[in-house]
Amino acid sequence: MLEIIQLPVLNDNYIYLLHDADSGETAAVDPAVAEPVREVLQSKGWRLNYIFNTHHHGDHVGGNLQLKQQTGCKVVGANSDKARISGLDIGVEDGDEIRLGSHVFKVMATPGHTLGHIVFYGADSQTLFCGDTLFSLGCGRLFEGSAEQMWQSLQRLKALPESTRIYCAHEYTQANGRFALSVEADNPALQQRLAEVAELRRQNQSTLPSTLAQELATNPFLREHSTSIRQAVNGENDSPAEIFAKVRRLKDQF
């Protein structure tokens, strides 16, 4: 069994600690800072074996070097970003597999937010650690890649099993939801999700993980087929990729 601990850090980041009880192996996904990770490791009596980085931004790799120095763990990240990921030991490519005990994570290249962005998909654990590519009710800004690249990346994630749990790196759900409602106000699944999110945030609880099924029903960046969204961006005759690009631009100005 894969134990997953979510650590809220900085303003709205999440670090995920993954632990395989059988082997005793542990990985930290996108450790923005080291200290909260170290505290959990000490309290649990766990040893950190790996850091899984989705991309090179400082709020995802900021704890790499300190954790590596303290634990001797290996840093896993995109080989194409070896110059930008602090302490990278294991450079991976699209289609590679990383093992944590008995659990296997497939590396998927998802350029868009950054050119070297990758995600880690665990088929056996039904988990997706997607960094800043896919958010609940949103997707990452296009800092380096094109809208076409991000659209293609999201198509790959849309094809995963709908039961997949989505572990993204930020608590953006409520803010994303306000935008989603502006382009698809008549979506009852979205209305219900926002009510649930509002209650969770009122109690200062996380809105994650969501599931891919939830995102397919509510996330405007996965719903290019929606008549309401097409009308909202004046794109009734546009291709799905063009709809996505228009929605992304609208969100940037929201």
60 is an active site residue: yes
252 is an active site residue: no
103 is in an annotated binding site: no
252 is in an annotated binding site: no
- Which residues in 172-200 are b (16+ Cβ under 10 Å) and which e? bbeebbebbbebbeebeebeebbeebeeb
Strands 103-109 and 118-122: antiparallel
CA distances, 252 to each of 130, 220, 247 (Å): 20, 14, 9
202 Cβ contact partners less than 8 Å away, ≥ 6 residues apart: none
170 is in an annotated binding site: yes
Integer Cα distance of 177 and 184 in angstroms: 10
55 is in an annotated binding site: yes
56 is in an annotated binding site: no
DSSP category for residue 117: -
19 is an active site residue: no
Catalytic residue (choose from 56, 103, 113, 117): 113
Catalytic residue (choose from 60, 81, 103, 117): 60
170 is an active site residue: yes
60 is in an annotated binding site: yes
Catalytic residue (choose from 59, 81, 103, 117): 59
117 is in an annotated binding site: no
Task: Give the residue numbers of the binding site for Zn(2+).
Answer: 55, 57, 59-60, 113, 132, 170
Task: Give the residue numbers of the binding site.
Answer: 55, 57, 59-60, 113, 132, 170
Q: Which residues are catalytic?
A: 55, 57, 59-60, 113, 132, 170
